[in-house]
């Protein structure tokens, strides 16, 4: 994901790019030989965690074109995605043999690769090289300074154990007859001596399905780890001959063993900034941040391929550009686990969406270094980094936790009106479905008023019971997490379907997300609305969904789902009524929810007549570019592994729209009409002329019965 994203990002800036990969198929760790999870459910407490930009393009293309839901289909789609870019040449099966530096040893002149199929060699000369290899193999060939395994600073050596890892992928199949297994004498490794987390990870995988692919990992303090073949057969010896599964695996056999690329993070480059675990707390912000990550916290003794043993983060964290290039070799950039960071951070950066974010950032940076004849170190400095970040954000790539102010955006000077606006009462008209049986839940909702008088929630009780309620506001440092308790209440209910009402009379100290926690001594169900407006969510205890990872920040989470549809919400009424979806949100700097939804939503409609947004300027303006940011449904997880897609497009995504300009003579002119939009970010280049107003008509979506637009930006 890092190499693909870097190549596309650089190519779209005009750089001639070669993507060189030693494997036969694209995908790297998420390909057939790695089968690393593409994503981890509930890895971050932000319910609107999803990345946009190139990562969203890739995931959307996989949903659309990998109809068979296989790794081979995924590799084909990735190759097709790259071949659409005219400036990229893809070279598979190319192993890097050598890297040549200039006489000063501070720039790479060329690298030599060999084709594993026919033995032919290539010499690649380039102005910039981006190392997206596993564990920084290219940088080590170049002699780039770096830390090998434990930190070079002795004071940090005792912070964590120095563990060594190896991994292999086995495919298990079934036979009609019993197939005993006798372990060869040359297999000296005993699976029982492996770390407990690795043994549990294998049992969890076998518990899902005995046949199919299973990851095996060896984690230990001894540098002499078993090679992939020995690891595979030692685990199979244990399963067939000494485990509790030996009876039910009598007819099973290993069809093949696939060596996984090195998972032992042995090298990390040295840049101008070393990202530490403290930086991943989410509180640090960098002037030169060019990417964000929601990677869960991964412990040193955690199996790298497991969906378990992950600790959820409170929020996203930022990645500075200064950590993504070599301090010594001036034309070498990084995207991967080998960037300038400590050993603990390196583990966390293996998260594929994070790899894509880093790749997009350094690809764009490398192209800009060429076109502007500047070094990465120069672009990371104040006076230059602001432009780089604005360019990336203009491509729908998130560079920091907060969006940048855009003084060039002409819509901020306009009066904005909309055809209709979603009202809180429209919650009652949503299609309804009883939620999960639970003893507790957390209802999230946006608050824009100065106080809260009453909250009514529709629930289903199986018996007479008491319900305790707590009204909470979002935490100051991270509004997605419940913070201070504002008030409490107790309600006695009868069995059956009913509205329960809490009277609070509570002043609102900070507008934004608020939470209503409901707890009872008996189970109940919240009546849920399907396809909820952005920001209204119901969360449940994590253990209901079988999430094995820890979350020290909240015991609740949104039900994980892997289809691009809006969340569900509680059917509720708030007094006074909240108004978070007015048209003025369109001209904010938001392109995703943070402390408030941050978008305009229309009334429910069948689009018999278009919904529209109008921008009026008191003095005529000239517009040559128009950016539209539609709702891509930010709150769903990508399937961890290739699967047959359920919904190809986000149902909230605007499908058809028109753009009208009103000229100085007050005549309206249709300048664009799109009938089958598939992108959350559309850029329109217009013939520059003086206009008085701009209108955007929404004609249809990919399924949702309302229009949802995050932002409109216009530029001279």
> How does pLDDT run across 460-519, given as a tens digit for each residue?
999 999 999 999 999 988 899 999 999 999 999 999 999 999 998 889 989 999 999 999
Q: Structural domains in the chain?
A: 2-149+267-393 (3.50.50.60), 164-259 (no CATH), 410-421+581-715 (2.60.120.260), 427-575 (2.60.120)
Q: What one-character-per-residue DSSP string does 48-95 give?
A: T----HHHHHHHHHHHHH-TT--HHHHHHHHHHHHHT-TTEEEEESEE
Rounded to an integer, what is the distance from CA 331 to the centroid of its chain?
Answer: 28
Identify the bridge partners of residue 537 per DSSP, sorted by sequence position. Answer: 444
Rounded to whole angstroms, how far apart are CA atoms 486 and 515?
Answer: 10
Q: Is pLDDT above 80 for 521?
A: yes
> How does pLDDT run across 11-35, given as a tens digit for each residue?
999 999 999 999 989 998 899 888 8
Distances (CA, A) of 392 to 4, 276, 290, 351, 630: 17, 24, 8, 21, 17
Q: Per-residue confidence at 149, pLDDT binned at 50, 70, 90?
A: low
Lowest mean pLDDT among 304-318, 479-493, 516-530: 304-318
Tell whether omega for the bond before 576 is within 30 degrees of 0, i.e. cis. yes
Rounded to an integer, what is the distance from CA 202 to the centroid of its chain?
Answer: 26
List phi, psi (to 5°) of 586: -60, -30
Q: Where are the beta strands (DSSP E) in 530-624?
A: 537-541, 556-557, 569-570, 572-575, 600-601, 611-622
Question: Taking Cα atoms as reference points, which of 552, 581, 551, 401 lies closest to residue 477?
Answer: 401
Q: Per-residue confidence at 159, pLDDT binned at 50, 70, 90?
A: very low
Rg (CA), the chain: 27
What is the arithmetic mean of pLDDT over 516-533?
96
> How does pLDDT run across 243-295, given as a tens digit for each residue?
999 999 999 999 999 887 666 666 899 999 999 988 987 678 999 999 999 98
Question: Taking Cα atoms as reference points, which of 645, 649, 627 lies closest to residue 56?
Answer: 649
Rounded to an integer, what is the distance from CA 234 to the centroid of its chain?
Answer: 36
Identify the bridge partners of residue 172 per DSSP, sorted by sequence position. Answer: 212, 254
Q: Per-residue confidence at 161, pLDDT binned at 50, 70, 90?
A: low
Tokens of 347: 């583990």
Q: Give burial (CB, 10 Å; 0-12/13-18/19+) of 586.
A: buried
Looking at residue 154, what is its pLDDT? Answer: 46
Question: Taking Cα atoms as reference points, which of 684, 697, 711 lies closest to residue 626?
Answer: 684
Rounded to whole angstroms, how far apart are CA atoms 426 and 155?
Answer: 59
> How does pLDDT run across 625-684, given as a tens digit for each residue?
999 999 999 988 888 899 998 888 999 999 999 999 999 888 999 999 999 999 999 999
Residue 609, number of CB atoms within 10 A of its CB: 10
Tokens of 156: 């940090």
Residue in the block written with tokens 């190549």: 7
Q: Per-residue confidence at 228, pLDDT binned at 50, 70, 90?
A: confident
Q: What is the average pLDDT score of the chain? A: 91
Rounded to whole angstroms, how far apart are CA atoms 304 and 247?
Answer: 29
Looking at residue 150, what is its pLDDT? Answer: 58
Distances (CA, A) of 197 to 187, 192, 194, 202: 22, 12, 8, 9
Tokens of 534: 């952005």
| Cβ contact 71:26 at 8 Å | no
Rounded to whole angstroms, how far apart are CA atoms 581 and 481?
Answer: 22
Q: Per-residue confidence at 405, pLDDT binned at 50, 70, 90?
A: confident
Tokens of 464: 């007479």
Looking at residue 547, what is its pLDDT? Answer: 75
Tokens of 361: 């950032």
Q: Give burial (CB, 10 Å; 0-12/13-18/19+) of 35.
A: buried
How big is the CA angle at 619 (ends 615 and 622), to the nearest 5 degrees?
70
Looking at residue 262, what is its pLDDT? Answer: 65
- Helices (H) and strands (E) counted in the chain, each on its own, are 10, 36
Looking at residue 266, what is its pLDDT? Answer: 67
pTM of the model: 0.92
Looking at residue 157, what is its pLDDT? Answer: 46
The angle that helices 53-65 and 352-372 make with each other, rounded to 10 degrees, is 120
Looking at residue 624, what is its pLDDT? Answer: 94
3-state secondary structure of 375: coil
What is the arithmetic mean of pLDDT over 418-427?
95
> How does pLDDT run across 578-631, given as a tens digit for each residue?
999 999 999 887 788 989 999 999 999 999 999 999 999 999 999 999 999 999
Q: Per-residue confidence at 219, pLDDT binned at 50, 70, 90?
A: confident
> How does pLDDT run across 366-403, given as a tens digit for each residue?
999 999 999 999 999 999 999 999 999 999 999 998 88
Looking at residue 263, what is its pLDDT? Answer: 63
Lowest mean pLDDT among 40-49, 88-97, 132-141, 474-483: 40-49
| Cβ contact 664:691 at 8 Å | yes
List phi, psi (to 5°) of 158: -90, 5
Rounded to whole angstroms, how far apart are CA atoms 665 and 620?
Answer: 11
Lowest mean pLDDT among 54-68, 219-233, 327-341, 690-704: 219-233
């Amino acid at each position: 994901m890092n190499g693909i994203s870097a190549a596309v990002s650089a190519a779209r800036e005009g750089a001639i790019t070669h993507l060189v990969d030693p494997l036969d198929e694209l995908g790297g760790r998420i390909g057939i030989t790695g089968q690393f999870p593409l994503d981890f459910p509930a890895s971050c407490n932000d319910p609107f965690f999803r990345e946009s930009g190139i990562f969203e393009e890739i995931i959307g293309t996989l949903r659309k074109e990998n109809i068979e839901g296989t790794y081979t289909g995924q590799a084909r789609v990735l190759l097709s995605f790259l071949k659409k870019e005219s400036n990229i040449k893809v070279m598979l099966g190319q192993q890097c043999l050598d890297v040549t530096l200039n006489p000063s040893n501070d720039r790479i002149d060329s690298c030599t690769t060999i084709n594993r199929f026919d033995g032919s060699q290539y010499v690649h000369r380039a102005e910039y090289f981006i190392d997206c290899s596993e564990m920084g193999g290219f940088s080590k060939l170049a002699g780039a300074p770096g830390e090998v395994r434990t930190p070079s600073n002795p004071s940090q050596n005792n912070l964590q154990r120095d563990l060594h890892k190896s991994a292999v992928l086995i495919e298990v199949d079934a036979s009609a007859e019993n197939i005993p297994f006798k372990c060869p004498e040359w297999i000296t490794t005993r699976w029982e001596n492996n770390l407990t987390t690795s043994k549990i990870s294998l049992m969890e995988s076998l518990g899902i399905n005995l046949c199919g692919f299973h990851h095996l990992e060896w984690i230990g303090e001894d540098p002499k780890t078993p090679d992939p073949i020995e690891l595979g057969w030692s685990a199979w010896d244990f399963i067939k001959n000494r485990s509790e599964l030996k009876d039910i695996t009598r007819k099973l056999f290993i069809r093949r063993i696939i060596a996984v690329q090195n998972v032992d993070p042995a090298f990390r480059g040295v840049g101008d900034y070393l990202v530490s675990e403290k930086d991943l707390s989410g509180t640090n912000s960098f002037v030169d941040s060019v990417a964000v990550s929601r990677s869960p916290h991964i412990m040193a003794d955690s199996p790298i391929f497991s969906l378990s043993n992950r600790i959820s983060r409170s929020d996203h964290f930022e990645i500075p550009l200064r950590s993504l290039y070599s301090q010594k070799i001036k034309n070498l950039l990084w995207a991967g686990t080998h960037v300038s960071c400590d050993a603990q951070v390196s583990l966390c950066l293996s998260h594929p969406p994070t790899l894509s974010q880093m790749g997009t950032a350094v690809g764009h940076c490398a192209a800009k270094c060429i076109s502007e004849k500047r070094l990465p170190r120069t672009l990371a400095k104040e006076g230059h980094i602001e432009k780089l970040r604005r360019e990336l954000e203009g491509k729908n790539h998130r560079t920091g936790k907060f969006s940048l102010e855009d003084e060039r955006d002409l819509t901020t000077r306009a009066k904005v009106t909309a055809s209709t606006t979603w009202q809180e009462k429209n919650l009652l008209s949503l299609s309804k479905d009883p939620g999960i049986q639970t003893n507790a839940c957390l209802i999230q909702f946006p608050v824009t008023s100065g106080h809260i008088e009453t909250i009514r929630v529709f629930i289903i009780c199986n018996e007479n019971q008491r319900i305790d309620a707590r009204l909470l506001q979002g935490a100051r440092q991270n509004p997605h997490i419940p913070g201070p308790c504002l008030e409490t209440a107790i309600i006695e209910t009868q069995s059956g379907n009913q509205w329960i009402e809490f009277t609070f009379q509570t002043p609102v100290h900070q507008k934004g997300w608020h939470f209503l926690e409901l707890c009872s001594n008996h189970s109940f169900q919240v009546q849920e609305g399907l396809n909820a407006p952005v920001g209204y969510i119901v969360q449940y205890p994590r253990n209901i969904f079988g999430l094995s990872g820890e979350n020290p920040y909240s015991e609740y989470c949104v039900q994980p789902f892997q289809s691009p549809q809006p969340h569900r919400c509680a059917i509720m009424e708030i007094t006074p009524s909240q108004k978070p979806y007015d048209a003025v949100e369109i001209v904010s700097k938001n392109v995703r929810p943070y402390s408030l939804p941050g978008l305009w939503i229309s009334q429910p409609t069948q689009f018999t007549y278009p919904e529209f947004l109008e921008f009026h300027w008191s003095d005529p303006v000239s517009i040559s570019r128009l950016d539209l940011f539609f709702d891509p449904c930010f709150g769903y997880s990508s399937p961890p592994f290739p699967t047959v897609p359920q919904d190809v497009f986000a149902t909230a995504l605007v499908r058809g729209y028109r753009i009208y300009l009103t000229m100085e003579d007050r005549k309206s002119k249709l300048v664009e009409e799109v009938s089958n939009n598939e992108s959350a970010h559309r850029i329109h280049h217009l013939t520059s002329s003086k206009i008085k107003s701009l209108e955007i008509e929404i004609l249809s979506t990919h399924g949702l019965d309302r229009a949802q637009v995050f932002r409109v930006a216009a530029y001279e």
